[in-house]
């Protein structure tokens, strides 16, 4: 009887090993009727790469309807922000005698500045500053507009000034929320919202 038990045990071990190799778990030959060829994979072509460059990102524009922060410092190495198409500086400034009356609080906040090919932003607030009140330009390519740091209102005339007190531009109301005038270099300039 021992012989039968040994044969039965040998058959069970062979069946178990055969099942393992059929499932891919053994190293021995497969007992399946179909033989499989080894699978080989082609290497993938690497994705092309471009050299990595370094630079500064432009600041994000504020979300629509968000108030503009006139006290925020300009971003370092900021590139001029291209505003949506808007008014272009007119060739002739408006006559101050015909200009509408305007108060200081009507000038507060953010404005679009257009002069020549330059379109940028100007922020004005009522913080006292040399020669008037605090102002700051953002995204202006023109060195003349970059130096704006103050503004003042005398009668109907708005004067934009540099940190040294020099006049950068003089404007008068042109109706609605628009001002028109000339820079110190005689370029036409407009402020609009």
How confident is the model over 155-188, as pLDDT tens digits? 889 999 998 889 999 999 887 789 999 999 999 9
Are the beta carbons of 115 and 109 closer than 8 angstroms?
Answer: no
**114 pLDDT band (50/70/90 cuts)?**
very high
CA distance 179 to 167: 16
Helices marked H in 31-188 = 143-146
**What token pair was written down for 16?**
């178990």
CA 18 to chain centre: 65
| Predicted local confidence at residue 119, as pLDDT | 92
Check the CA dihedral 89-93-99-104 and report its sign: positive
Express each pLDDT in 51-109 by its tens digit: 767 777 666 666 665 555 555 555 555 455 544 444 444 444 456 666 777 888 888 99
CA distance 139 to 42: 52
Strand-pair category, 118-129 with 109-115: antiparallel
Average pLDDT, the chain: 76
Per-residue pLDDT, averaged over 20-44, amounts to 61
Task: Determine if the pTM surpasses 0.75.
Answer: no
């Amino acid at each position: 009887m021992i012989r039968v038990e040994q044969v039965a045990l040998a058959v069970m071990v062979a069946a178990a090993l055969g099942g393992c190799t059929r499932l891919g778990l053994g190293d021995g030959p497969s007992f399946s009727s179909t033989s499989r060829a080894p699978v080989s994979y082609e290497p993938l072509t690497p994705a092309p790469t471009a050299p990595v460059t370094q630079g500064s990102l432009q600041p994000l524009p504020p979300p629509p309807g968000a108030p503009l922060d006139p006290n925020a410092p300009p971003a370092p190495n900021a590139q001029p922000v291209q505003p949506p198409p808007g008014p272009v500086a007119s060739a002739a400034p408006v006559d101050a005698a015909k200009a509408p009356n305007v108060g200081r609080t009507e000038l507060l906040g953010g404005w679009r500045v257009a002069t020549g090919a330059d379109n940028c932003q100007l922020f004005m607030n009522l913080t006292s500053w040399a020669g008037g009140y605090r102002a700051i330009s953002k995204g202006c390519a023109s060195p003349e507009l970059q130096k704006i740091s103050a503004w003042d209102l005398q009668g109907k005339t708005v004067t934009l000034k540099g940190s040294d007190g020099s006049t950068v531009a003089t404007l008068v109301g042109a109706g609605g929320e628009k001002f028109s005038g000339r820079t110190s270099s005689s370029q036409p300039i407009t402020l609009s919202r």
